[in-house]
Structure 1
Amino acid sequence: MRKSYGLDAVLFDYGGVLTNPVRHSIEAWLAADGIEPASFSRTLRRWLSRDAEEGTPIHRLETGELTAAEFDALLAAELTSVDQRPVEPTGMLSRLFAGMRPEPVMFALAEELRGLGIRVGLLSNSWGNTYPRERIDALFEPVVISGEVGLRKPHRQIFDLALQRLDLPASRVLFVDDAEPNVLGARAVGLQALQHADPASTRAALAALIPGVTAHPTGAENS
């Protein structure tokens, strides 16, 4: 029989948690496309801040109501280039996420948790980006992606759906995300929640919660 650790499952966000920081990819895209960073930051705040009205283009992208191409056009219209040329919308999201890569240290952590009998799942807001589905589907269960289910974090309904698929009470599940609003949304539903800053601190936090998780595995710094 599996041991009880006080937690039965850990739900991971994808971008910025199971990958390198998304901001690094965004910074590279802004530089490569010659986009004025302030124009992107301004648009992001208006469409994604806590006080943004419901139904912004980002919200509709995350729930699958907008296609990537439709969003590209809306975003390009809000941006300015450093040389004042029109911003090219075609393939914008693909370029924005081009530098995002799976983080091997975090995937190793998920595998370690599963080896200890802790279930691991994925709960991600999608921006029309692709996921390494073969790798994800082999490791995580459930896999809940906003654009596939028509729901988005930090709304309660998507957390309820993930819990329903886990068939577990919220108090037995830990949610890991790098965005504070999503962490707060998870806590409001009753999940335990951890805000991810970097792989080392997240692993250390899980090691403090779950016996058997190695806080500093040999060779992790070289992974």
Structure 2
Amino acid sequence: MTGDAVTANAVNAVNAVITDWGGVLTSPLNQAVDVWLAADGVDVARYKGVMRAWVKQAYDGSGVNPIHGLEDGTLEVAEFERLLAAELLTVDGAPVPAEGLIARMFRAFEPVEPMYDALRAARAAGARTALLSNSWGNDYPRDLWNDLFDAVVISCEVGMRKPDERIFRHAVELVGLPPEECVFIDDIEHNCAAAEAVGMKAVHHTSVDTTLAELRALGLAV
């Protein structure tokens, strides 16, 4: 191997894994939401119509809506719940209770142990690890994070949200490595593109098996 090749390999090495939480370290978001919709008897079409419009605005820059405020901490959780509940009805036409709505929405989240195991393996092999999550007022299972992350970045706690490039740069600074040495995992493709725009590698998480295969291809022990 030539000296130039050795240098290129060193520069391109991945030495940190930065991961999303919901939908990556947990069971899929849509599964949890489906459980909640059924349990609360929410009109599914009405919910999807409201959320489709809000999410589109949140990611394409076409307007500011409650998701922005919830994720960057400028909107109280209770107010977001009130605003969302006001847009919803049950299948019987009754109002949906606002209090505790987010907790009910994510109650069916389950930890994905193979992803936790992969992070532990990567960290044991010398990689740095970090969490980068857009919070929906989530009650995070922080007891599962003991000795797992070198840094934890929660959007509402830092006043920034994905896909803002500032939050990616903040996470990278906390792990102490250049973006080129970091890989970011997220189940939202738009966030992956934003990470790549600041120089990070990105893995769009669609399944545990494909994500682990991509991490191994980057040279990580997972």
TM normalised by structure 1 equals 0.90
Q: Please point out which of 49, 56, 73 is paired with 2:65.
A: 56
Which residue, 36, 44, 53 being the options, matches 2:43? 36
Give, in whole Å, the separation in 2 of the partners of 1:131 and 1:138. 15
Contact 1:137 1:143 in 2 (8 A): no
Greater than 6 Å deviation, 4+ residue runs: none
- In the other structure, the counterpart of 1:110 is 119
Match of 1:221 in 2: none
Q: Quickly say closer, same or farther: Cα 1:144–1:54, change in 2 above 3 A.
A: farther
Counterpart in the other structure of 1:220: none
How far apart are 1:52 and its partner, in Å? 5.1
Mapping 1:46-195, distance limit 5 Å: 46-49=53-56, 50-51=59-60, 53-195=62-204
d(CA) in 2 for partners of 1:52, 1:99: 30
Per the TM alignment, residue 61 of structure 1 is displaced from its structure 2 partner at its CA by: 0.3
Contact 1:36 1:79 in 2 (8 A): yes
Give aligned-pair identity as a percent: 44
2:74 is paired with a residue whose SS is: coil
Shift of 1:74: 0.2
TM (normalized to structure 2)? Answer: 0.90
Residue 137 (structure 1) shift: 4.4
Gaps of 5+ in 1: 214-223
Contact 2:15 2:128 in 1 (8 A): yes
| Equivalent-residue separation in structure 1 for 2:68 and 2:182 (angstroms) | 25
Task: Give the Cα–Cα distance (whole angstroms) in 1 for the partners of residues 83 and 68 of structure 2.
Answer: 13
| Rounded Cα–Cα distance in structure 2 between residues aligned with 1:90 and 1:52 | 29
Distance 1:186-1:18 versus aligned 2 partners, 3 A rule: same
Paired with 2:22 and 2:221, the residues of 1 have a C-alpha distance of 26
Q: Aligned with 2:60: secondary structure?
A: coil
Deviation at 1:51, TM superposition (A): 3.0
Distance change (3 Å), C-alpha of 1:23 and 1:122 = same
Query: Amino acid of the residue matched to residue 65 of structure 2?
Result: T
Which residue of the partner structure matches residue 14 of structure 1?
21
Paired letter, 2:170: L
Asked whether the equivalents of residues 11 and 123 of structure 1 are also in contact (C-alpha less than 8 Å), the reply is: yes
Given that 1:122 and 1:142 are in contact with CA atoms closer than 8 Å, whether structure 2 keeps it comes out as yes
Consecutive unaligned residues in structure 2, runs of 5 or more: 1-9
CA distance in 2 between counterparts of 1:71 and 1:17 reads 24
**Mapped partners of 2:60, 2:125: distance in 1:** 40
CA deviations on 1:73-101 (whole Å, 9 max, x unpaired) are: 00001112111111111110010010012
Q: Is the 8 A contact 1:48 1:59 kept in 2?
A: no
Offset of residue 115 of structure 1? 1.2
Counterpart CA distance in 1 for 2:221 and 2:26 is: 24
